[in-house]
Amino acid sequence: MVLLAAGLVIMAYGVSFSIIAGLGTSPISSLPYAVSQLTPLTVGTATIAMHCVLIALQVVLLRKEYSPFQMLQLPVALVFGTLCDLTLATIQWMTPTGYPARWVCCLIGVVLVGFGVSCEVQAALVPLAGEGFILAVCKAFSRPFPPTKIAFDCTLVALACALGFAFRGQLLGVREGTIAAALLVGLVSKQFTKRLLDPLTRERKEEKC
């Protein structure tokens, strides 16, 4: 539980750093960010709303095979969305000037999101609704996880782009930083898991023995 909580906080800070960088958010946050720019909703509230929709879609896809335990994704979504707003408020004073400074903030966001994902996965309790939805699609249609995740991320980015062009005539939250996050978050997450979290988990198991 502690590892999951830490992961949510770290991921929320990662999302916030990507927002203040202004070079585009990670794919999973692109749609909530676009919605927050077009409505009175905050990024956190829009994130909660998106997660609620994804949870509902899981129920529709899996029907009788849906495990009630997965409804724990709802309180996790509420906590994560709230943390996104809180963490953004704590670093809102940062205003990176110049392209290099923005890239520094963007890469900090990528590293934090990757580390947060590692903590969430290693906790092995309940996934965020985005991952839960991907797993539900894989189960319902017998699809492998990697290409399904790529399709899911691309869909979110495409929806964010469509909203931006439809209502503002420009991209909202989708830029080169979005591509960087799509390419690097998974790699960063694997490195943290391999070099830090796996050894820590192994040490704890040995201590218990």
pLDDT digits (tens, 9 = 90+) for 126-146: 888 999 999 999 999 999 988
Q: How many domains does the chain have?
A: 1
Tokens for 12, please give them.
Answer: 């929320």
Q: Are 115 and 10 spatial neighbours (Cβ–Cβ below 8 Å)?
A: yes
Reference 112, options 185, 48, 170, 191; nearest CA is 185
Quick one: pLDDT band at residue 198, thresholds 50, 70, 90? low
pTM over 0.85: yes
Can you give the residue range of the structural domain that contains 100? 2-208
- Which pLDDT value is given to residue 209? 47
Rounded Cα gap, residues 171 and 161, in angstroms: 6
- Which pLDDT value is given to residue 174? 93
